[in-house]
Amino acid sequence: MSSYNIGVVGATGLVGREMLNMLDKRDFPVKNLRLLASHRSVGKKLKFKGREIEVEELTKDSFSKGDKLDVALFSAGGGTSKEFAPYAAREGVFVIDNSSAWRMDDNCPLIVPEVNEIALKKEKKIIANPNCSTIQMVVVLAPLHRAAKIKRVVVSTYQAVSGAGIKAVEELEEQVKALSEGRKPRPMVFPHQIAYNCLPQIDVFLDNGYTKEEMKMVNETKKIMGDDSIQVTATCVRVPVVRAHSEAVNIETEKKLTAEEAISILEKAPGITVVDDISKLKYPLAVNAAYKEETFVGRLREDESIENGLNMWVVSDNLLKGAALNAVQIAESLVKNEYI
């Protein structure tokens, strides 16, 4: 079996570490592994398959020296990706980028393997990993769209603080501790207190009144699904959960789908686990989805306010399927299609 030289850019961050974990857990055929990060992380050592690997500094020459990389998994922010991904691509390295830098670039595929693996092309070296909240939603929407053509999507998200990085997780933990001790919490990462609170703002506000996160869901959904006719509207909310995003999703379809038919379709779809037994109070929960690879869906019911509508509850680990896992699955698709 062939093996490949893999680089992880931003290896010391939350998602970077999960990329290493997914490469290991899924037994990706790694020949050599290089860890790249900013000069602040140089010399740090991370474990992979029982051995320690030292972090190198990311420079414009990183991809033209040392072990020639086949794939570079980027998780270091949009600015870093914009600066360094083109250097990797020029050296023939497939870049799988977790930032928003390339997602809406017409020359870069935006990939969720269960949905649009066919959009991968050997000559397209920079591949965008979609937004975490978009990924889990389209995994569920795609099989329903194929069966009944989705006309409109209304989604409200309940997103974990880990989506904003390790400092956001630490802020939630510190605020909970402060409140328990009678101290006033100090917001630093978020604009307001996040402990015991919900913030109807993720990322910055745009001129249309939506946040950047909400418009990511609108635009990325259409690109991934390959259908600009799908109307999408989103409200994205940060909640005091450490890990796993939850979403209330309402869809309107051209063809009638009963809840039972939708469940049957989703039970057969890749990457999805249906948890839907209200008689036993069984439905997807963030605490159960954390550290799991699947996307969970439940609370399937018909929308009684329109003729062809469905409501559902979708939950997935934002650091895994929403980021690191999806990136590694894209690398697996490159191997399967013999692009590397």
The catalytic residue positions are 132, 245
Q: Are 69 and 34 in contact, with CB atoms under 8 Å apart?
A: yes
Would you call 175 helix, strand, or coil by DSSP?
Answer: helix
Beta strands in 225-292 (DSSP E): 231-238, 245-253, 272-274
Q: Which two tokens stand for residue 276?
A: 């839907």
Q: Are 26 and 48 in contact, with CB atoms under 8 Å apart?
A: no
Between CA 36 and CA 13 the distance in angstroms is: 11
> CA-based angle 177:180:185, to the nearest 5?
60
Between CA 110 and CA 184 the distance in angstroms is: 43
User: Looking at the chain, how many residues does it have?
Assistant: 340
DSSP string for 107-167: TS-B--HHHHGGG--TT--EEEPPPHHHHHHHHHHHHHHHHH-EEEEEEEEEE-GGGG-HH
DSSP string for 179-216: HHTTPPP--SSSSS--TT--BS--S-B-TTS-BHHHHH
* 212-225 and 132-148 helices, crossing angle to 10°: 40
Q: Are 30 and 4 in contact, with CB atoms under 8 Å apart?
A: yes
